[in-house]
Structure 1
């Protein structure tokens, strides 16, 4: 996998997902990050996740790869060179406790292998990507389906927000949020991440 610098993630970027977890719909992008140790490519292998800290939830997401720093007035096509699909794994019980205490989410979001990524595809335009749904298949059943046109905050807004508040440069990645349908994992579950009808990556989950 090529060198990755920062992994930014957008929380609650689909209205129905925010509502299914009983969360308030944000009025500006809600950004958190994951360590690079969280990143693992889904290429058909078994991926180990912690099974002793409560429920592990899957959250499928459309992922951007940044080619160069963003500057006001630059087209998105000049900033983003590739896209992929990913899964933001979440220790939901841990996250719930952290939220009650007003603590950061890192313990629930940043553990090793918590950021699955598929193969990348060349990014051409937002319009082209809006014509294709992305889905997560668990044990041969569709559990999540999304389209980037349903995002609360569009790609332009997300990229500009990340750039202004954290910095954005070549090698950074942005997980752009998950649609409704998140749920828990079980040992030996098989996951497939599909862009339209194409499977971009798959893996088996081992809960340790």
Structure 2
């Protein structure tokens, strides 16, 4: 699976924005991650930094562009694959960047910060509203979300991304996280589920360098 640009949508679930005391956005709010952030969750141990404060998980639906964006094409012609991802965040670093009004790259772009489960065929938005995506940590569900609860829907996100950054075949977009984000600890076991079925898992290793 070719991955070019990694776009991420911030604050796209109302309850998540509220839990972090952020204002509800009035237009899509995007940031990006380098391709070095990408890692697949295939049951392995994933190394994360332990010397920069708390590392938080944010579980999200992720979509893969099948072709270059064209405004008149239906969503089913633009998207060919979907999965669940983890937008990992150095929360303490992010809080300091926010205070200085600096970009978030240091908090969002570190290696292994874009974790993806296995890709699945995209079956259309209508079907997706009937199913939740979840994250389990050490056997306990910690996040559950549904695409119907997004503030900005997928067509809006694609149009916005294409207009401001360009959106082409191979680009992927993280679409925002529901409430329930929290810190990871060394040896945490994570399971990503779609339609109550595991499509990705990994173990976390956090150690100071």
User: Which TM-score band (shorter chain)?
Assistant: over 0.9
Cα separation, 2, equivalents of 1:131 and 1:3 = 28
Equivalent residue runs for 1:53-72 within 5 Å: 53-72=52-71
Q: Which runs of 5+ in 1 are unaligned?
A: none
TM-score normalized with structure 2 length: 0.98
Listed one character per residue, the Cα deviations across residues 66-87 of structure 1 (whole Å, up to 9, x for unaligned) are 0011212210000000000000
| Residues 1:138 and 2:137 aligned together | yes
TM-score normalized with structure 1 length: 0.99
Q: CA RMSD in A?
A: 0.5
Listed one character per residue, the Cα deviations across residues 125-180 of structure 1 (whole Å, up to 9, x for unaligned) are 10011111000000000000000000000000000000111000110000000000
Equivalent residue runs for 1:1-208 within 5 Å: 2-208=1-207
Q: How many residues align?
A: 207
Q: C-alpha displacement at 1:122, in angstroms?
A: 0.4
Cα separation, 1, equivalents of 2:109 and 2:133 = 24
Q: Which runs of 5+ in 2 are unaligned?
A: none
Cα separation, 2, equivalents of 1:131 and 1:125 = 11
Listed one character per residue, the Cα deviations across residues 28-66 of structure 1 (whole Å, up to 9, x for unaligned) are 000000000000000000000001100000000000000
SS in 2 for 1:108: helix
Cα separation, 1, equivalents of 2:94 and 2:9 = 15
The more displaced of 87-96 and 124-133 is 124-133
